[in-house]
Each structure stands twice: as structure tokens, then as C-alpha cells.
Chain A
Amino acid sequence: EIVLTQYPATLSVSPGEGATLSCRASEDIGSVLAWYQQKLGQAPRLLIYGASTRATGIPARFSGSGSGTEFTLTISTLQSEDSAVYFCQQYDPWSPKFTFGPGTKVDIK
């Protein structure tokens, strides 16, 4: 079973700063990785799929990179509305099953 690990667990940043969130897979998953943003009391929202493609309507300050086992979500110029938990997700076609990482909570100072 493929396990996703996210770090850090919590990140506190000031408005205007950048943030780098990491997601590590226990096996090579190519580029089959997505990122979601979940604000308090809301459903998750798709940010990135295919490791680096922004979903429709997602601001350019969100970018994804990586392949294999190491992935990064970068948020440049953080805004107050970016306060949320960010989850990564992969799909194992051999199981088949979807797996989510435990999430990184981003707090805006």
C-alpha cells in the first residue's frame, strides 16, 4: 500500500511571504498526484493535478512540482484567504485505491 507523508504538519507564515509544502510517497507514483485546499467548515477544493497542472480558476500563486516520490506545493505571496489545510492525494491503479496525505495546516500570522 502506498503511503503519503506530508510535512510540515503546521506552517505559520506572514501575509506576502511564500510557503513550501511537501508530500512524499512511499513508492514511485510518477506524476499521479493532486493537491487540495480545505478551509474551515468547507469541502476540499482541487488546486493541482498531475503534480503540476493548476485546476480551473486556481490563482497562479499556487504551483506544484515533483515526480516519483517527492512533491511540492508552493504558495507564493500568501494571502489571508490561503489559511487552510492542504492535502495531497494519489491513486494506485494496482489496488485500486485512492490515498490522501494527513495534511499540512497553513496559518496566516
Chain B
Amino acid sequence: QVQLVESGGTLVKPGGSLRLSCVASGFTFGDYFMSWIRQAPGKGLEWVSYTSTRTIYYGDSVRGRFTISRDNAKNSLFLQMNSLRVEDSAIYYCARVRTAPNWYFDLWGRGTLVAVSS
């Protein structure tokens, strides 16, 4: 079955760190760009980061604090989140990226909830 399953979300204090994981199954993980996208409660979607095997890009609000990585041997995508802020509270989705000429997300996980609060 083609799917993505996120884990690692929890309640953390401001300034703290957290590592999210996403395990892929049903497709050749290493052949695809992968991304993290987040959604604050009741809000819209915000792209966080994406990676191929050689390139990495971040959104402005997380650059310098978050680090995306992947382990193709374990079909896994990670997001290391440091210096967390209240405004980082959101559901974090892992998504598969389809690239040029049309860049879009064709497979999404169910998400994992991160709450940043004192």
C-alpha cells in the first residue's frame, strides 16, 4: 500500500527541540523529492521544507532552526526542529513531491501534531 506515516509530534516548551519522522511504503522512496508541510489549527497550509537526495530548501519562517534529512535505506524522512516557538504549533504533514514541469504534492500522510506551549 502506497502511504506515508508521520510520528514524533508532542507537546514541547518554547525553545525546545523535537524530531519528526515519516516512513514511506509502497513506492521507491529514493526516487522522489520529499517535503514537510504544516497547518496551524484552523489555518491554511504552509510549506516548510523539501529535499531531493542532493538539494534542500526551507521556508523563510523555519530556515536556520529546522533541518530536513532522509534515510533512503530506511524509507524515512525526518525533520529536526530546534528553537521551537509557539507559532510552530501545527499539524506537520509529510508529502511526496512531483517535480518539473509541474511541481505538486501527490501523496500526503495523515500528519502529526506539534504543540509548543509553556
Query: What residues of chain A have their CB less than 8 Å away from a CB belonging to chain B?
Result: 31-32, 34, 36, 42-46, 49-50, 53, 55, 87, 89, 91, 93, 95-103
Contact = CB atoms under 8 A, between A and B. Distances in A.
Contacts of B108: 43-46
Contacts of B35: 98
Nearest to B109: A43
A46 B105 contact: yes
Which of B98, B101, B104 gathers most chain A CB within 10 Å?
B104
A94 B24 CA distance: 29
B86 interface: no
Interface of B: 35, 37, 44-47, 50, 57, 59-60, 93, 98, 100-111
A87 B45 contact: yes
A93 B33 CA distance: 14
A44 B45 contact: yes
B93 A98 contact: no
A99 B60 CA distance: 12
B103 A32 contact: yes
The 7 closest A-B pairs by CB, nearest first: A91-B103, A34-B104, A98-B47, A50-B102, A100-B45, A43-B108, A49-B104
